[in-house]
Every structure is written in C-alpha cells, then in structure tokens.
Amino acid sequence: MQELTPREIVVELDKHIVGQDAAKRSVAVAVRNRWRRQRVDDTMKKEIAPKNIMMVGPTGVGKTEIARRLAALTNAPFIKVEATKYTEVGYYGRDVESMVRELVENSIGLVRDQEREKIQEEAKKRVEERLIDLLLPPPPMVASATTADDSDDDPDILSPEKPPESPQQIRYQRNREKIRAMLQSGEMDERMVSITSETRVTPIMMGMPGMDMMDLNLDEMFSKILPKSRTKRELSVKDARAILMEQECDSLINRDKVQSDAVELAENVGIIFIDEIDKIVASEKQHGADVSRQGVQRDLLPIIEGTTVQTKYGFVKTDHILFIAAGAFHRSKPSDLMPELQGRFPVVVELSDLTKEDFIRILTEPSGSLTKQYKALMDTEKVNITFKKDAIHTLADFAFEANQRTQNIGARRLYTIMERLLEELSFDAPDMGGKNVTIDAAYVKKQLQKITPEEDLKKFIL
C-alpha cells in the first residue's frame, strides 16, 4: 500500500472533505498502522490487531465520503458495503461472509493490475507481432522455413549451420519492418483485420440466501465443462490491439501467483467499510425483522473478531482486516449494539453537524466543489458563470435554514439547492452562446424564492 504519513493522508482528505478533523485523524492513524505492522518482526506482527473504527454522525456530514476518498488514496484492497443488505441465514439477504469474498475480488484486481504493469512491454511486443502477421501473412515457403528455423532454437541440439535466407524471405522480412514502422506511427490504425476471440457460455445461476460460495463453485465448474465459443470478428487495428493486449496479458500473467498474493494482501492490509450499521440495531421487542437484525450482529461478530472464510481463491483469515463502521444513529445509539460487537470497535469518533460556515467552505474549498462542477458544465456550452461571495453566503444560509426547519440531511441539501438555482440557466444554456452570467445574492434569492417561499422550505427535502 502507498506509504503516506497520517499528516499526508489528512492533507489529502482536506482537499475533498470539510471539517471532521477527529474522524480524519483516526482513519489516517489506522491506515498508517497497516503499513507499520508490515515492518515489525513476525512474532509481534501476529499479536498486533487492527483498531477498528466506529464513525457516528448524522447523514451528509462526510462519513461515506471519507471512506470513498480513502479508497482512492491507498492501494490497499478496499470495499464499502451496507449492513442492511446482510441478514441472518434463513431470512432474505446475503451471507455476511460475502463481504470478505468481495474484498478478495478487489485484491485480485489490484494485484493483477500490478502484474500487468510488469509484463506490459513484453505483451506490447507480442501484440505487435500478431498484428503484423494479420496484416502480412507469411507466404507458404517462408512460413515453413520459419517453422524449421524455430525447431533449431534449442542450444542443446547440435545442428548444422542454418542455410542462408532466400530472396523471398529477405523481401518478406523487409516488408514486415515497413508494416511495423507504420503500426508504430499509427498509420495502420484504421486498417481492418480479422481476429478470433473466445468466450465461455456461463449459465444463469439463481441466487439464494447463504449460497454465495456454492454459486462461485458452480460457476467455476461450469466454466471448465462448457465449451468455449469462438467468434471471428472484423475490427480496425486500433480496436483489435486492445483485444489482443488482453489475450496476451492473460497468457503472460501467472494466475496462481496473482491469487496467492491477492489473498495475502487482503489478509494483511484489507479495509472493509460497513455503512448504515445503525440500521441493524434491534428494538427492545424482539420479533420479525428485529430478530434478523440481531442475527446480523451475531454473524458479523466472528468476521470482525477474526475467523477463516472460504473463497474460490482459498481460505482467507480476517484477523488483521481493518473494519470501519459508520452510522447516523438517529433513533438509536452505539451502545444499543451487542456489547461484544461494540468491543470490536475500540475507536469511536463522532462527526459533528455542519454549520453555516461549513457550507460556505464546502461550496468553495474542495477541488471538486459544486460551484466548480457547475462552472465546468456551463463552460461546455460556452456560458461563463461567476459566483460572487455574497451568493455563496446566501446559498449557505438557505441550506442551513432548510436543514434546521426540516430534516437535517447535511451537505446533500446543497445538491438540491444548486440544482434548483441553476435549473433555468441549465435549460437555456445551449441557446445563450458565449454569454457571461454573474450569480450574486439577488439572483440566488430570486431563483430560490420563486420556487419556494422563505416560510416553506419543505420542497427542499430530497
């Protein structure tokens, strides 16, 4: 994984998320501890358990965004799952162990990409040779001579000196070099070639609760039994190059090594983010769905505590996977979870409600802020929009007031307000052609109050 210090991680998160310093610091330290653990001796490495994190805070304050940005920052296997899609075996839903299988799949993708980088040059050379063969097939005499030459490549076999090349062979090799130069310069990109691609017929499997592993095994079994489907296609050299590149990479990459490395990577530096964990808190009356929620907590417990999960790539130990859980806990609190599950999340951080000043910063500071997004969208229509400072403050006022008077949905309120603000402009933009539009406080009030009077902010509910 990437060697970022906690301070560097926080700096990167600050570029996209406003406030919530405590949560950023906790996540940064936890990620750095993944790196530190890899550098201690083996005896101590087994003893160091991850310090799982519980993020508590209202919706729209940055819990999921922190996790999403963290995934982009680290090269560690990372998945985000919702606790609500799991349920106790016997009820509708997925087996909790499937989250570990998803993590391993993510790890397979990461390791495969790393291996692909190593064999990139060799694969490019092979693709180039195959394209030249397709564009300039060897004449029969040259092909047979080449085959004979290839058989003499073994240095252990004593063979007489190779016969000199015929004029036909020399002419063919000269033409190949010309084609190679044209391929490298892009002159042949639009030339059509015929390639054969192979696909396997995969049967449709009906999913059932708790049957994830069986589905995987059946898929693998059928892929070996069912015949391959060969398809001949006419493609341009540019499109054929991409398909041939995949075929060559598949043949060069050692699948067994990828799978073993991926399992090890997932076990040691994998991160699982469990969102909406407050939705599996059961009420005092244990019946119906509450029984299932309590069952999910019991099923999660061994996964987080440390167990071995069977995947199609082998057994995966979850002892050192880092779990980050998040929930709004509007109608419950973390202490309503099972005591055993609470104990598996020793680090609890509370994320605060967003203030008016936070909304101002959200609209201006992040590299992908909403004002910058809309400006970029309007630039495609040759319409230049400028947000004045008083407009930003007025937008923040509307968002904060709407959250206070109705349901508090955090920063998501800004999406609704910005869309309403620029709805008319977005509709008319294609016909405006090259105009400059300045958005100030008066413009904001006019657009928003025209749709929603100040005393009725309920229409801003998503």
The closest of 37, 27, 30, 26 to 268, measured between CA atoms, is: 37
Q: Is residue 154 part of a domain?
A: no
Do 130 and 238 fall within a single domain?
Answer: yes
Do 245 and 125 fall within a single domain?
Answer: yes
Question: What's the DSSP call for residue 433?
Answer: -
Look at phi and psi of residue 58 and say left if phi exceeds 0, alpha if psi is from -120 to 50, else beta. Answer: beta
Give CA–CA dist 33/5, Å, rounded.
10
Q: Is residue 296 part of a domain?
A: yes
The closest of 197, 203, 191, 60 to 136, measured between CA atoms, is: 191
What pTM did the predictor assign?
A: 0.75
Contact assessment for residue 436 and residue 387, using Cβ atoms and an 8 Å cutoff: no
Give CA–CA dist 448/36, Å, rounded.
51
pLDDT value of residue 217: 56
Looking at this protein, which amino acid is placed at residue 198? E
Question: What's the DSSP call for residue 86?
Answer: B
Do 242 and 273 fall within a single domain?
Answer: no
Do 420 and 328 fall within a single domain?
Answer: no
Q: Is residue 153 part of a domain?
A: no
Per residue in 10-56, pLDDT (tens digit) is 888 888 888 888 888 888 888 888 888 888 888 888 888 888 888 88
pLDDT value of residue 454: 46
Question: How many Å separate Cα 326 from the centre of its chain?
Answer: 19
Give CA–CA dist 400/397, Å, rounded.
5
- Domain end call among 226, 252, 278: 252
List the domain range (segments joined by +) for residue 74. Answer: 6-115+260-350
Q: Is residue 367 part of a domain?
A: yes
Do 13 and 110 fall within a single domain?
Answer: yes
For the chain, what's the residue count? 462
Give CA–CA dist 451/428, Å, rounded.
17
Q: Is residue 362 part of a domain?
A: yes
Beta bridge partner(s), residue 273: 80, 324
Nearby residues of 10 by Cβ (< 8 Å), 6 or more positions away? 21, 24, 25, 28
The closest of 237, 229, 227 to 185, measured between CA atoms, is: 237
Do 285 and 215 fall within a single domain?
Answer: no
* pLDDT in 10s for each residue of the chain, 462 residues: 557 888 988 888 888 888 888 888 888 888 888 888 888 888 888 888 888 888 888 787 888 888 888 877 877 888 888 888 776 444 444 678 888 999 999 999 889 988 888 888 888 888 888 888 888 887 766 555 555 555 444 544 444 555 666 777 788 788 888 888 888 888 888 888 888 776 655 555 555 544 555 555 555 565 566 666 677 778 888 888 888 888 888 888 888 889 999 999 898 888 899 888 888 886 655 545 555 677 788 888 888 888 888 888 889 999 888 898 888 887 788 888 888 888 888 888 888 888 888 888 888 888 788 888 888 888 888 888 888 888 888 888 888 888 787 777 788 888 888 888 888 888 888 888 778 888 888 888 888 875 444 445 555 444
Do 53 and 125 fall within a single domain?
Answer: no
CATH of the domain at 392: 1.10.8.60
Do 329 and 414 fall within a single domain?
Answer: no
Q: Is residue 162 part of a domain?
A: no
Q: Which residue carries 């020399």 as its tokens? A: 170
Taking CA 257 as the corner, what is the angle to CA 251 and CA 261, rounded to the nearest 5 degrees?
A: 135
Do 124 and 248 fall within a single domain?
Answer: yes
Q: Is residue 222 part of a domain?
A: yes
Give CA–CA dist 179/190, Å, rounded.
14
The closest of 251, 256, 265, 238 to 116, measured between CA atoms, is: 251
Do 331 and 394 fall within a single domain?
Answer: no
Contact assessment for residue 391 and residue 443, using Cβ atoms and an 8 Å cutoff: yes
Question: Alpha-carbon dihedral of residues 41, 42, 48, 49, nearest 10 degrees?
Answer: 150
Contact assessment for residue 414 and residue 363, using Cβ atoms and an 8 Å cutoff: yes
- Domain end call among 236, 252, 268: 252
pLDDT value of residue 151: 47
- Domain end call among 252, 280, 305: 252
How many CA within 13 A on the CB side of residue 110? 25
Distances in Å between the Cα of 181 and the Cα atoms of 34, 116, 139, 175, 178 are: 48, 25, 21, 10, 5
Question: What's the DSSP call for residue 155?
Answer: T
Do 15 and 64 fall within a single domain?
Answer: yes
Do 106 and 11 fall within a single domain?
Answer: yes
Contact assessment for residue 30 and residue 347, using Cβ atoms and an 8 Å cutoff: yes
pLDDT value of residue 461: 47
CATH of the domain at 35: 3.40.50.300
Tally of domains within the chain: 3
Q: Is residue 152 part of a domain?
A: no
The burial class, CB within 10 Å (0-12 / 13-18 / 19+), for 169 is middle
Phi and psi torsions of 410, nearest 5°: 65, -140
